[in-house]
Amino acid sequence: MAPRRKQKEKAPWWQFELSGVEVAVLVLAMLAVLRCCDVPVPFVDDAIARIKLVLHPPEVPPEAGSDVAATMAAAWAGQPMVFDDLLFQLRHYCAEGGGGSCTEWLEAVPLVAAAVRRGPGTWDRKPLKKAKTLELDRLLASVNSRSDASAKVRQALRAIGEELLDVAPKSIKKDLLAWDSPGAAKEDEVEVEL
């Protein structure tokens, strides 16, 4: 008779061996279930957040007042305007390299001045930053010195300059040009002589 082969003993059902690939698949499946159930998984959540940030960066909100057409329409509609909006308008219409026509902006200056006077925060305006104030002042002075600026336009620019003086930092108030520009002074002299 042939020798009997030993039969392998069957291991109980709770003892089993998994290969490395099977373990990796089980771990990934468990992580997927945890993510679907909104259970935070520390390292995985951080990695997913970084990947999402790289693939879909958040939109940068536009700077206040950067929509010049909307602020001009608001001025035409009689709505209040803040100095940031005015600065963007001047950059667009009257600064070097601006996309608009300064003559077009000059036609709307009385409306813009009224909107700035009515502007939000007129009773408790916060001082503007020095750089913005000086840039706004420089642009207003250059517009005021234009030859195509009428007396009505100069008067409106002077009103804007006086409002600017109210919100200018104390350290630069004496350096501002727009509220005390030569064009505005000539207009005042003409009115006094009449």
Per-residue pLDDT of 132-190, as tens digits, reads 989 999 999 888 888 888 889 899 999 898 888 888 888 888 887 756 544 444 444 44
What contacts 130, CB < 8 A, 6 or more positions away?
169, 171, 172
What local confidence, expressed as pLDDT, does residue 63 receive? 64
Phi then psi for residue 139, to 5 deg, are: -65, -40
What local confidence, expressed as pLDDT, does residue 125 receive? 66
What local confidence, expressed as pLDDT, does residue 171 receive? 87
Are 43 and 100 found together in one domain? no
Burial 65-97, CB ≥16 within 10 A → b, else e: beebeebbebbeeeebbbbbbbbbbbbbbbbee
Listed residues 5, 31, 55: the one ending a domain: 55
What contacts 104, CB < 8 A, 6 or more positions away?
93
Listed residues 28, 55, 82: the one ending a domain: 55
Are 105 and 158 found together in one domain? yes
**Rounded mean pLDDT of 116-124?**
71
Are 98 and 26 found together in one domain? no
Whether 15 is covered by a domain: the verdict is: no
What local confidence, expressed as pLDDT, does residue 113 receive? 92
Are 51 and 78 found together in one domain? no
What local confidence, expressed as pLDDT, does residue 124 receive? 59
For residue 179, how many other CB atoms are within 10 A of its CB? 22
Are 73 and 143 found together in one domain? yes
What local confidence, expressed as pLDDT, does residue 190 receive? 42
Number of domains into which the chain is organized: 2
In tens, the pLDDT along 66-117 reads: 688 888 888 889 888 888 888 999 998 888 888 888 888 888 899 999 998 8
Whether 61 is covered by a domain: the verdict is: no
Of the candidates 71, 82, 90, the one whose C-alpha atom is nearest the C-alpha of residue 143 is 90
What local confidence, expressed as pLDDT, does residue 29 receive? 93
Are 47 and 74 found together in one domain? no
Are 120 and 89 found together in one domain? yes
Q: Sort 144 into a burial class: Cβ within 10 Å, 0-12 / 13-18 / 19+.
A: buried
Range of the domain at 35: 20-55
Q: Which ranges of the chain would DSSP assign to H, the alpha helix? A: 20-36, 42-55, 68-76, 83-93, 102-117, 130-144, 151-167, 182-193
* CA 72 to each of CA 68, 80, 122: distance values in angstroms, whole numbers, following the listed order: 6, 11, 19
Are 112 and 180 found together in one domain? yes
